[in-house]
Each structure stands twice: as C-alpha cells, then as structure tokens.
Amino acid sequence: MRRIAIIVGLCASLVLSAIALGAAPINGATYKGHTKQGLKIKFQVESTGDYIEHLHYDLIENCSNGTQNTNAFTSGFGTSYQIADSGKFHGTQKLVASKTVKSGKVTLKGKFVTSHKATGTLKDTVTFRKSDPNHRGTCSGKTKFTVKTK
C-alpha cells in the first residue's frame, strides 16, 4: 500500500512539474486571440520554434495630454521575442521613428500553456513628435492576452 502511495505521489509531482514548465509551441504556427481590452492580437512562431515574429496588435494607451490612443501595431522584420525551452517568451522591440513617432518600445512576455495556447502580457510606450497634430506626447498601455492556434 505504501509503495502505491509513493508511486502516485511521484506521478502527481511529474504532472505538476510539466504544467509549471509550460509547453513547446508549434513551429511556424500563427496564434490569434484577444487582449483583456477586447482587442486583437496575433503572432507567428518562427519555423525553428525559437522566436515569435510578425506581431500585430491593437492596444488602448493613456497619453500624457490626458487622452487615449489606440495603437495599431505591426512589427517589422526581425525576431525580438525569444522562446525558451520552458515555453516562456520575452522580448522588447524598439519602434522605428517616423514622421509622427519619435521613439517607443514594445514588450511582450508570456508562456505557452499548451502547444495550442499562450497567455501573457503586452506593454508599449510611444513618444510622439512635437509636430503631432493630436499633441499626444507620450502614450503607454499594458494588457494581458490569450492566443490560440488551430
């Protein structure tokens, strides 16, 4: 009886360890979902499964002039968000300056809870040029998200 209890305890420990570690994503798969703000987010796992690429999202930000801004972000080329063997991912990408945007950065952090599902946090900050017709100043936002693939 004691031997069975030990075996059951060991099996339970292994299952809990596997859950805590996370899961490996599907190489090359696209994950789509929504943020806690109810807006869209999607990204693709690069073909080797080492990075997240092609990040697209909408995020409501609060601006220094007291208004809100909805940032519709599409990442450029590059692999800024690395996926660890544990299924966790994290990275920061600097925004490319434009006619309106002076600087900014996007931070993505999360974990693949199964090979078909990931959860995490998305955060960004955008500083607009003084010539911005909306005089937004600096806008920043943060939200949680869940994405899935089929």
CATH number of the domain that 123 lies in?
2.40.128
Query: What pLDDT does 14 receive?
Result: 44
List pLDDT tens digits, range 32-55: 999 999 999 999 999 999 999 999
Mean pLDDT of 9-27: 61
Residue 15 lies in a domain: no
Residue 124 lies in a domain: yes
Residue 3 lies in a domain: no
Q: Which domain holds residue 92?
A: 22-148
**131/134 Cα distance (integer angstroms):** 9
DSSP state of 99: S
DSSP state of 80: -
The pTM is what? Answer: 0.82
Strand ranges, E, within 9-100: 30-35, 40-45, 51-63, 68-74, 81-83, 88-94
Give 77's contacts (C-beta < 8 A, 6+ positions apart). none
Mean residue pLDDT of the chain comes to 88
Residue 121 lies in a domain: yes
